[in-house]
């Protein structure tokens, strides 16, 4: 791929504290465009994005992570980017892995690359419930995709141009990570995991509490069932 | 005419008036008003035509006619709320699309504005 244009999409909901550092890390790791999609933040997330001189897409109210990411994909599609990377705004993802994350796409070996915490022995622990949920979804997806997946809930991932077009049209609404993998597979995109290290979330304020986690599991299982019941569609080139 | 018939008649007519008033004030789209008018007409027919409910219940094999009425009413409400769920889903989707489009356009306007102000300051210097 000659001189590919890469866009890093940062979905951000009240990430003013960490956003500047995240942007600095990305800039030092990869030559790329950066867009912050502000999901109706009530702090000065948007202001920081402007100060840092990155692209800013400001949603008028909170839409949730799925629709926020889709906004980024729509922008990437419209601006003709070759690769779109998703990375969290809280500094959980280590930007130094960005070149590795897009490498399989650059080599034409994969269309959808996911950074996995569990592919090698990393010191990332996370809560036990979260690990169990991720392990279960990874197991189910491994069976459905007939390939080994270890971190289906990872939000550190890269999509190629055709997949950008697909996600710009249609992207799962909430808790999208697991479902997006299956959607990509059903549309004949090649999925691949690479090992990454992730940092612990500062302060441990995960957005998923106990009641929500039950809803999360049920919702994702239902979504997988629905997606799997559809016919596999031929891959649409952008 | 029995007491209950008069009572049902009054309720039906009142409902019809409320719906008509809502349309007049443009608080209800005609599309929905038709459905509600139809509902009121069914209520009217059931109120006036005494034998109809008995016939329906015996046709459905329900011993007590009022139970047939309740069952039909609940079924109708169920279909209606399902209809609203579909509607809400569609509206949510449209709202999402609008919000995303707004974010994209907002960015474009900001860019346009920035390039204009920088061009202005270039001229000024």
Q: How many CB atoms lie within 10 A of CB B93?
A: 12
- Partners of A63 on chain B (C-beta within 8 Å) are 96, 99-100
pLDDT value, residue A211? 80
Task: List domains and CATH numbers for chain A.
Answer: 6-229 (3.90.550.10)
Provide the number of CB pairs (under 8 Å) joining chain A to chain B.
35
Residue A76 and residue A84 in contact, taking contact as beta carbons nearer than 8 Å: yes
How far is it, in rounded angstroms, from Cα B79 to Cα B44? 21
Note which residues in 14-33 of chain A have CB less than 8 A from chain B: none
The stretches in chain A having pLDDT less than 70 are 1-2, 121-126, 201-208, 235-238
- What does DSSP say about strands A191-195 and A33-39: parallel, antiparallel, or unpaired? unpaired
**Assigned token pair, A104:** 């399989």
Q: Compute mean pLDDT per 10 residues along chain B, 125 residues long, and list them.
A: 84 88 83 82 85 89 88 91 93 96 96 86 64
> What is the C-alpha separation between A158 and A110, in angstroms, rounded?
10
What is the pLDDT, as a whole number, of residue B124? 56
**From CA A84, how far away is CA A171, in angstroms rounded?**
14
Give A124→chain B minimum CA distance, Å: 34
Q: Check CB contact under 8 Å for A59 and B104.
A: no
How far apart CA A116 and CA A151 sit, in angstroms, is 5
Cβ of A37 under 8 Å from any chain B Cβ?
yes
Question: What pLDDT, on a 0 to 100 scale, did the predictor assign at position A204?
Answer: 46
Q: Which of B96, B104, B107 sits opposite A63 (nearest CB)?
A: B96
SS (H, E, C) A99-140: HHHHHHHHCCCCCEEEEECCCCCCCCCCCHHHHHHHHHHHHH
* The predicted structure's pLDDT at residue A203: 45
Judged by CB atoms closer than 8 Å, whether chains meet at B104 and A70 is answered as: no
Tell me the pLDDT tens digit for each residue of A93-125.
999 999 999 999 999 999 999 999 888 765 666
The pLDDT value recorded for residue A208 is: 59
């Amino acid at each position: 791929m000659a001189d590919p244009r890469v866009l890093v999409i940062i979905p951000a909901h009240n990430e003013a504290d960490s956003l500047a550092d995240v942007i600095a890390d990305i800039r030092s790791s990869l030559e790329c465009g950066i867009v912050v999609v502000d999901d109706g933040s009530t702090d000065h997330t948007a202001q920081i994005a402007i100060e840092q001189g990155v692209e800013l897409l400001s949603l008028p109210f909170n839409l949730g992570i799925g629709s926020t990411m889709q906004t980024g994909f729509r922008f990437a599609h419209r601006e003709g980017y070759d690769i779109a990377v998703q990375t969290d705004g809280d500094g959980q993802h280590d930007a130094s892995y960005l070149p590795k994350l897009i490498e399989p796409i650059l080599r034409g070996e994969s269309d959808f690359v996911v950074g996995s915490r569990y592919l090698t022995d990393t010191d990332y622990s996370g809560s036990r419930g979260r690990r169990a949920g991720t392990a279960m979804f990874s197991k189910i997806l491994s069976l459905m995709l007939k390939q080994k997946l270890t971190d289906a809930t990872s939000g550190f991932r890269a999509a190629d141009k055709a997949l950008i077009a697909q996600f710009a049209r249609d992207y799962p609404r909430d808790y999208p990570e697991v479902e997006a993998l299956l959607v990509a597979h059903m549309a004949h995109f090649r999925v691949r995991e690479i090992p990454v290290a992730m940092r612990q979330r500062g302060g441990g304020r995960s957005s998923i509490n106990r009641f929500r986690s039950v809803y999360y599991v049920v919702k994702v299982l239902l979504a997988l069932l629905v997606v799997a019941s559809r016919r596999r569609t031929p891959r649409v080139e952008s | 005419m029995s007491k209950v018939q008069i009572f049902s008649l009054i309720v039906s007519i009142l409902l019809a008036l409320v719906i008509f008033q809502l349309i007049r004030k443009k608080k209800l789209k005609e599309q929905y008003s038709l459905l509600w008018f139809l509902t009121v007409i069914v209520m009217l027919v059931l109120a006036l035509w005494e034998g109809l409910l008995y016939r329906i219940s015996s046709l459905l094999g329900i011993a007590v006619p009022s139970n047939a009425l309740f069952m039909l009413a609940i079924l109708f409400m169920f279909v209606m709320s399902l209809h609203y769920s579909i509607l809400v889903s569609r509206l949510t989707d449209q709202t999402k699309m609008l919000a995303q489009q707004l974010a994209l356009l907002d960015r474009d306007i900001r860019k346009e504005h920035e390039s204009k102000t920088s061009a202005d300051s270039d001229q000024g210097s």
